[in-house]
Copies of this chain bind each other. A is one copy, B any other.
Amino acid sequence: MNNKKILIVEDESDIRELIKYNLEKNGFQADVACSGTEALQKIRIKKYGLILLDLMLPGIDGIEICKMLKSDPAFSDVPLIIVSARSEETDKLTGLELADDYVTKPFSPRELVARVKAVLRCYAAKKPEKHAEEGLIKKGPLVIDMGKYLVTREGIPIDLSNMEFMLLAYLAKRPGKIIKRDFLLDAVWGGGAYIEPRTVDVHIRRIREKIEENPSDPKFICTKRGVGYYFTEEG
């Protein structure tokens, strides 16, 4: 799904590991860079979802890296949080002009994680794709309300679990399109999940039990043998 990789640019190894540990504990993937030059290399190679940048770096000044990033259209849309021991107000202001948030040392790991989440949430909220996540999908008697996580059939609410809802919504958004199991695992479960493809079948089955008149003769989620599943195009 979304790019959750975070780059930590920090020269002090213990702080670096502390941050990395805490981010990973919260479900993020984190890479590290010990210097400005290393950071710039990594940024060029890989697309990051967020960068945590220490201002006090050997070699290149952190502020210079900020400026580089934010002036380069290829990277200016990557969220940036500055981490720094400098607590002077002037620096903070300068930093905030360049970055999306500014955390001063010493910081609690929890606060850092919370700020990372806040910044990512803020970015996610602006994404046009996210906008499309809201709204209603109607197929015949079936209505899928993305905001309320609710499915109704002829007005009667149907209780789906979260996973079931996501899977159904994913298929229903692409009527007629046949989607392979592997693809569903990637899209609905997220890239980093190593799940048995058969698990998809089980979920499909459970959804069918709930939304279909006769689960053995599905009208909404159909099977394309040898390929995958698709949501009916009729309606």
Binding site for B on A (CB under 8 A): 31-32, 37, 40-42, 44-46, 93, 96-97, 100-101, 108, 110-111, 114-115, 117-119, 121-123, 125-126, 147-150, 161-163, 176-178, 182-183, 186, 191, 194-196, 224-227, 230, 233
Contacts and interface: CB of A to CB of B under 8 A. Distances in A.
A111 to B, nearest CB: 4
B162 A225 contact: yes
B194 A111 contact: yes
Given A110-B196, A227-B162, A101 B45 contact: yes
A155 to B, nearest CB: 13
Nearest to A60: B126
A162 B165 CA distance: 28
Contact of A126 (B31, B37, B162): B37
A68 B211 CA distance: 37
B227 A119 contact: no
Contact of A31 (B93, B122, B225, B230): B93
B31 A194 contact: no
Contacts of A121: 182-183, 186
Contact of A96 (B42, B44, B123, B150): B42
Given A45-B119, A178-B148, A226 B96 contact: no
A101 to B, nearest CB: 5
A149 B194 CA distance: 27
A230 B176 CA distance: 29
19 contacts: A31-B93, A40-B126, A41-B100, A41-B122, A42-B96, A44-B118, A45-B122, A46-B96, A110-B194, A110-B196, A117-B182, A148-B176, A149-B224, A149-B227, A150-B176, A161-B225, A162-B224, A162-B225, A162-B226
A114 B110 CA distance: 41
